[in-house]
Structure 1
Amino acid sequence: MSVPHAEAPATEPAATSGRPSAASRDFRGFWMAVLPPVLGLACLVLIWQLIASTSNSGIPKPAETWAQAVQVFSDPFYSNGPNDQGVGWNVLASLKRVAIGFGMAALVGIPAGFAIGRFEFLSRMFNPLISLLRPVSPLAWLPIGLLVFKGADPAAIWTIFICSIWPMIINTAVGVQRVPQDYMNVARVLNLSEWKIFTKILFPAVLPYLLTGVRLAVGTAWLVIVAAEMLTGGVGIGFWVWDEWNNLNVSSIIIAIFVIGIVGLLLEFALIKLATLFTFEEVKA
């Protein structure tokens, strides 16, 4: 009986000797999460430095842009009149327009997507119209907004609305059409009302598709608002870019590009977290 007790301690280290420790796994995971993005940003800065140093394009170097960024963000909420405001006010103005236009598109697009996906007659009726209007550039709708609403702000919001509505309609309708027919057969056997079908069957099944449409719509809206504000003027990140170009301040334009990218990244991250809360599947960017 003494032999098994003597061999037992020797077998356990042999089984675990080849496994990495928990600390080493955590360390490796940390570097895999941090090092690739840092190297990517370093490559971007290096290429930027090389282009700025070897060309006569007038592009400022990273160090010059950083100094300008420190000055810009030292007081992001100053206000010296309607056409001279800090970058913070410009970003907030753009986000406000995006929120209003996107919210209106969600109120119209999501119910329309459910109806088009649920009823074949509506699907056949509206699919040609969607196919016709969806490829139109969002900025092509801006003159229509200026003509109808007689103002830059409502025209920009209208442009956001018209470019945000299509992803939500299409993704929601596709989600409804992909609900398994067995679910609908059970609902028919149980004689469920249309409201019960919507709340108990359609909405839970379509939610991942709906959230995908919302993410696409927000990304599109944030892209379009910059171009719309360049054309309409006023306060906004797009107008700020155009105003800095008129002042030949290229460093501020580069700063604005990074600000636009960071805000878009934050919006995307927030929607991914929202989608993760309401779905069982892992949501990736």
Structure 2
Amino acid sequence: MSTPETVVALQLDSRHEAVDWSQMGRWLISRIGYPLAGIAVLLAVWWLGGWLIASNPDTEPFADFAPAPAFARLQELLANGYAWQAAGPSLERIGLGLFWAVVIGVPVGVGIGLFASLREITHVPFQFLRMISPLAWMPVAVLAFATWDGAIVFLIAVAAIWPVLFSTAQGVRRIDPLWFKVAKNLGADGWQMLRKIILPAIGQDIFAGIRLAVGVAWIVLVPAEYLGVTSGLGYAINDARDTLEYDTLAAMVVVIGVIGFLLDGICVSLIKRFSWHHQD
């Protein structure tokens, strides 16, 4: 025979199970349902654009830009390795450009965040320089570097350095000054404060800047690879355009988008990893 206490306990358990299922349903919708809906809308717009292009006699030669030919061609490019061969040099250039952006941007950002005088001195020059399109530096890069690869890496670094630099500086300025006072009272020198206080505290800000830098660098990379080089995703797109292979062009655009999405996901994971210092 069930006692009143047993009945109440069973009712509470059933309510907890209902709540858990409800929470799981909301989680599935937010994490899976919404992204799939967004992808479906994107594909629908792409398909509609392809249909409009194919139905117009003036634009019919561009009909292979539609989703069906593009994905069929993408499967071929992945199978024969062409997509991987094109992505490799581009990723190498992106990596080198981001490396130099971080190597230069983080120390300068720390200095700007720590010293008000340096921040005032560099404000106008930095704001002026960051407003110049990185591609406008192409003639300078060609003259300054012996290879096109070096010029492209330079352009990527020029584009990527500003998000890293300013995000780092902002992170340093948000550090509680009390931390520095406590460290000094404990006998910490400048190097120890940098390693134990500043860098751990601004880790999230650095990777947030890198996340923005990846997007900017990815945009700069493709047009930069149109000129001078015979490898990379930008070169593959330009070559497909010249040979009127619009299915290949669309397939390489998909590759660029997927790689960019994955790189952004890596940056988001790193930002979450270093988010502890913003939590109470």
- Assess same fold via TM > 0.5: yes
Question: Is the contact between residue 142 and residue 158 of structure 1 (CA under 8 Å) also seen in structure 2?
Answer: no
Counterpart of 1:80 in structure 2 is none
Counterpart of 2:32 in structure 1 is 34
Q: 1:24 to 1:117 in 2, by over 3 A?
A: closer
Counterpart of 2:10 in structure 1 is 13
1: distance between equivalents of 2:12 and 2:275? 39
Q: Identify which range, 31-40 or 132-141, moves more after superposition.
A: 31-40
Counterpart of 1:49 in structure 2 is 47
Q: Which has the higher contact order (CA 8 A, sep 6+)?
A: 2
Quick one: which amino acid aligns to residue 35 of structure 2? P
Q: CA-to-partner distance for each residue in 1:32-69, whole Å, 9 max, x for gaps? A: 43222222222222222222223423233322222222
Normalising to structure 2: TM-score of the pair?
0.87
2: distance between equivalents of 1:17 and 1:113? 55
2: distance between equivalents of 1:282 and 1:191? 26
Q: Identify which range, 123-132 or 28-37, moves more after superposition.
A: 28-37
Q: In structure 2, list runs of 5 or more residues that go unmatched.
A: none
Q: 1:213 to 1:25 in 2, by over 3 A?
A: closer
User: Could you tell me which of 80, 91, 103 is aligned with 1:75?
Assistant: 80
1: distance between equivalents of 2:252 and 2:261? 14
**Once the 2 structures are TM-superposed, how far is the Cα of residue 122 of structure 1 from its aligned partner?**
1.8
Counterpart of 1:82 in structure 2 is none
Counterpart of 2:104 in structure 1 is 108
**Once the 2 structures are TM-superposed, how far is the Cα of residue 102 of structure 1 from its aligned partner?**
1.3
Question: Is the contact between residue 77 and residue 83 of structure 2 (CA under 8 Å) also seen in structure 1?
Answer: yes
Q: CA-to-partner distance for each residue in 1:78-130, whole Å, 9 max, x for gaps? A: xxxxxxxx221111000111111211221111111112211222222222211
Quick one: which amino acid aligns to residue 116 of structure 2? E
2: distance between equivalents of 1:197 and 1:281? 16
2: distance between equivalents of 1:6 and 1:173? 65
Counterpart of 2:194 in structure 1 is 198
Q: CA-to-partner distance for each residue in 1:147-185, whole Å, 9 max, x for gaps? A: 111431111011011111111111111111221122223
**Once the 2 structures are TM-superposed, how far is the Cα of residue 28 of structure 1 from its aligned partner?**
5.3
Question: What SS does the corresponding residue of 1:156 show, helix, strand or coil?
Answer: helix
**Once the 2 structures are TM-superposed, how far is the Cα of residue 198 of structure 1 from its aligned partner?**
1.2
Question: Is the contact between residue 93 and residue 236 of structure 1 (CA under 8 Å) also seen in structure 2?
Answer: yes
Quick one: which amino acid aligns to residue 77 of structure 2? V
1: distance between equivalents of 2:212 and 2:45? 30
Question: Is the contact between residue 176 and residue 202 of structure 1 (CA under 8 Å) also seen in structure 2?
Answer: yes
2: distance between equivalents of 1:163 and 1:74? 33
Q: CA-to-partner distance for each residue in 1:174-209, whole Å, 9 max, x for gaps? A: 111221122223334445311122122212222221
- Identical pairs, percent: 29
Counterpart of 1:230 in structure 2 is 226
Q: In structure 1, list runs of 5 or more residues that go unmatched.
A: 77-85
Counterpart of 2:182 in structure 1 is 186
Question: What SS does the corresponding residue of 1:59 show, helix, strand or coil?
Answer: helix
**Once the 2 structures are TM-superposed, how far is the Cα of residue 282 of structure 1 from its aligned partner?**
9.2
Q: 1:266 to 1:69 in 2, by over 3 A?
A: same
Question: What SS does the corresponding residue of 1:232 show, helix, strand or coil?
Answer: coil
Normalising to structure 1: TM-score of the pair?
0.86
Question: What SS does the corresponding residue of 1:136 show, helix, strand or coil?
Answer: coil
Q: 1:275 to 1:121 in 2, by over 3 A?
A: same
How many equivalent pairs are there? Answer: 271
Counterpart of 1:262 in structure 2 is 258
**Once the 2 structures are TM-superposed, how far is the Cα of residue 138 of structure 1 from its aligned partner?**
1.0
Counterpart of 1:59 in structure 2 is 63
2: distance between equivalents of 1:205 and 1:278? 8
Q: Identify which range, 159-168 or 237-246, moves more after superposition.
A: 159-168
Q: CA RMSD in A?
A: 2.4
Counterpart of 1:214 in structure 2 is 210
